[in-house]
Structure 1
Amino acid sequence: MPGAGIRPGIMNDRPRLLDVTRLVSRIGRGPLTGVDRVEAAYLAWLGPRPDTRLLCRTPYGFLLLPGAAGGALRHWLTAPETLPSPDLLDRLRRRTGPQARAEAGLRRLAEARGPHRSLGRMVAQALPTGGSYLNLGHSNLTGATLGALAGVPGLTVAVMIHDTIPLDHPEFCREGGSVRFAAKLAAVFAHANLILCNSAATRADVFRHAGAGRRPACAVAHLGIDLPQPDPAALPPWLDLTRPWFVCLGTIEPRKNHALLLDAWDHIARRWPEAQVPQLMIVGRRGWRNAETFARLDVRPQGVVELPGLPDGAVAALLAGARGLLMPSHAEGFGLPMLEAAALGVPVLATPTPAAHEVMGQAARFLPPDDPGAWAEAIMALAGAERGAMASVVGYFQGPAIPSWTDHFNIVLRLV
């Protein structure tokens, strides 16, 4: 579970209200995404504190919960089979999935609950001296919700923006994603007191879209790395681990540029005998607007293995044994997998996005997002190298500074 190994650092003693709506919606839906992992780390850090409250939006209104309820939420994320039964109203409405069951369990733990229109009053009663509201998951970023919270006396509204990709690259997003994100960002500009950004690159992007209107304060805090314990026993038993392999980690969607890697593997297959072709382990579920890539994967290209739904321990084991992590993304807000690979001493091949340059420095080899031949050459060099020589093949000799969650929270929790 993300955040399991973090330790308290320096923080002020203000009461905090952590929005966990996104995490509740993710229960029972497979491995956590990058944004999910950030919200989970905040829950692990802040949940045990007596001055923490949690906020969850449901179809029937908001739930205000003690921080200790985070223990149940974290347990359900890893063991959804233990969720309680749904409430009668949910059963009548045929809402019986994991999210409805989690909301039912949280209602039984709530300190207060109320309809959406009562949010400001409910929070003001729970936090009479004010405090900080923290939104890490891009849920509830509406003018109505943030406006109600901004009206609570003494409450600082802090929102993390992970990237502005829906505005910069709408072609890579779900239909309507750009319009929805623009409305969220407008609500943040209008009502937030503080914007948190995971990189200086994201901060520059955020304020590029700010226009001439209100600009909240902004702080940059690189995300922490919390590597799970590698668990080789959790890997599928049919995987061939006798031949070199590379890992591409993330949802199979256009922005991640899996098509380039399939082209690179076609290059390699034409150059090398079948027994020498390294394996490409694509770790992630299928996403959106990527029918051509899905069709190519359906015919099972030589050396390519698709692995959706692996648990965190299995992913860590696969990454630890890889010849390299491949990140040919067209855009990134941060790029957690790159730092996770670097922390394990695994070489990284990536496209030169501003965020990748910021977090990796010279500790990666950067390649163009539209040159599969260059990627094929770099991959073949790594596949044929002795393990001790892999760093020199990639072209770096010193890894990046690996940020910790303590580093992150020592920045953020001085401010909110």
Structure 2
Amino acid sequence: MRLFFDARYIRTDFHDGISRFSHELAHAVFAAAPDAGVEVTFIVHDPGQVALLPAGAPTVSLHAPTSVLEPLAALRLNRYRPDVVYSPMQTIGALGRRFGLILTLHDTIYYRHRTPPRDLPWFVRLGWRLFHLTYAPQRATLNAADAVATVSETSKRQFAAVRLTKREVVVLPNAPQRLAELAPAGAMPGAAAALNIVYMGSFMPYKNVETLVRAMAHLPGRTLHLLSRISPARQEELEKLAPADARIVFHGGVTDTEYAALLSDAALLATLSLDEGYGLPIAEALELGVPAVVSDMEIFHEVGGPGARYVPARDARAFADAVIGLDDEGARAALVAAGREHIARFTWPESAARLLAASRRVVAQRAR
């Protein structure tokens, strides 16, 4: 079986969520492919992407996924005669395809929050907003494939609730990166009471960072670290909400190594998001052995399981009480152990095996 993996979403500067997912799954699929009798070829648009793929992996070049040629992508790929094409997004054109196709829709959050990523071209941002005004275009897109992938059981249930696709939906969990390999030598994450509260994520309104900021009024002596890049205007908004004498550090973006070091330093991971597509920072913290205090919603329960404390998203006092409760060494140790056991089920080899199995099903179905 010839599987073509769309690697065009792998960034050559720094990973965003889709880029990291694509990169990690690509390596896991390539490693598992020989034993499964599968030949994997990667689709790229930037020569720099080749260096980020497994050494010696075959590649073919195609236009960028944001190109106006994207609706014709299948016609260009037909010449290579793949059996199945897998894309970590759902935008690749299916018109005239002569191969099996598996598309990925990570979640439905952009139907509730329609603001597109700012680094996309203006015409793509406009199309993004129009596309998410109704489920009809998404249904047509997904039903044009043979199968649909997503990253969580929560998303799979949400797809079913709105009848988003008639196709099989296969879950390919988004596994955490191993921050332990980047942590300082001798670090003991989760071993001490949390003096540092770490937030990794954007500052969109639904992320509800305001409640984290207000909660610092109940957490004297502790520091809130806001790690991601932030605009000056948004930082000023949050600074005005900050209680007097609150310790809040705006890092303005950090490397993975800095991220690992901050989580390893008497810290816990916090997020009080009102809505979310996944929750990768929670998975990363649990894998490192860092406790998490998060908002009480379905996707966070799936990712965090018994390894996190759950609180009402807008209740600053409840969040603070949960943080203080983890000063108890026994409670903290039990939470860390439960989190590590839970998150160990989320691995890239497992996701790769599921994708290869789904690809075989697609080929068998098309042969009938």
TM-score by length of structure 2 reads: 0.75
Rounded Cα–Cα distance in structure 1 between residues aligned with 2:325 and 2:332? 9
Partner amino acid, structure 1, of 2:76: M
Rounded Cα–Cα distance in structure 2 between residues aligned with 1:19 and 1:397? 32
- Of 281, 303, 307, 1:363 maps to 307
Rounded Cα–Cα distance in structure 1 between residues aligned with 2:61 and 2:325? 60
Counterpart check, 1:343 vs 2:295: no
Rounded Cα–Cα distance in structure 1 between residues aligned with 2:41 and 2:162? 32
- Of 202, 209, 224, 1:251 maps to 202
- 1:356 Cα deviation after fit: 1.4
Matches within 5 A, 1:108-187: 111=60, 116=69, 119-127=73-81, 130-138=82-90, 141=91, 145-148=92-95, 151-153=96-98, 155-170=99-114, 178-181=129-132, 182=135, 185-187=138-140
- Of 321, 342, 345, 1:400 maps to 342
Rounded Cα–Cα distance in structure 1 between residues aligned with 2:77 and 2:116? 37
Structure 1: tracts of 5 or more residues without a match: 1-13, 58-62, 76-108, 234-240
Q: Which residue of structure 1 lines up, in the alignment, with residue 211 of structure 2?
A: 260
- Of 215, 223, 229, 1:285 maps to 229
Rounded Cα–Cα distance in structure 2 between residues aligned with 1:313 and 1:160? 29
Rounded Cα–Cα distance in structure 2 between residues aligned with 1:111 and 1:401? 35
Q: Which residue of structure 1 lines up, in the alignment, with residue 362 of structure 2?
A: none
Rounded Cα–Cα distance in structure 2 between residues aligned with 1:389 and 1:255? 30
CA contact (8 A) 2:154 2:299 kept: yes
Per-residue Cα deviation, 1:170-208 (whole angstroms, up to 9, x for no partner): 489888655334576234323111111211110111233
Aligned residues: 327
Q: Which residue of structure 1 lines up, in the alignment, with residue 122 of structure 2?
A: none
Q: Let me know the Cα RMSD of the aligned residues.
A: 3.7
Matches within 5 A, 1:13-412: 14-23=1-10, 26-28=11-13, 31-46=14-29, 51-56=39-44, 70-73=49-52, 111=60, 116=69, 119-127=73-81, 130-138=82-90, 141=91, 145-148=92-95, 151-153=96-98, 155-170=99-114, 178-181=129-132, 182=135, 185-210=138-163, 215-228=166-179, 229-232=181-184, 244-268=195-219, 272=220, 277-286=221-230, 294-297=236-239, 302-382=246-326, 385=327, 387=329, 389-391=331-333, 399-402=341-344, 403-412=346-355
Per-residue Cα deviation, 1:154-174 (whole angstroms, up to 9, x for no partner): x22111211101113448988
Q: Structure 1 vs Structure 2: percent identity of aligned residues? A: 22
Change (3 A) 1:396 1:38: closer
- Matched position secondary structure for 2:217: helix
- 1:255 Cα deviation after fit: 2.4
Partner amino acid, structure 1, of 2:214: D
Change (3 A) 1:408 1:322: farther
Partner amino acid, structure 2, of 1:249: M
CA contact (8 A) 1:166 1:173 kept: no
Per-residue Cα deviation, 1:188-247 (whole angstroms, up to 9, x for no partner): 323111111211110111233336xx61111123222331422449xxxxxxx9982111
CA contact (8 A) 1:227 1:316 kept: no
Partner amino acid, structure 2, of 1:311: T
Structure 2: tracts of 5 or more residues without a match: 119-124, 186-191, 360-368
Per-residue Cα deviation, 1:1-33 (whole angstroms, up to 9, x for no partner): xxxxxxxxxxxxx2122222322xx433xx422
- 1:372 Cα deviation after fit: 0.7
Per-residue Cα deviation, 1:125-149 (whole angstroms, up to 9, x for no partner): 212xx322111145xx1xxx4322x
CA contact (8 A) 1:259 1:293 kept: no
Change (3 A) 1:412 1:262: same
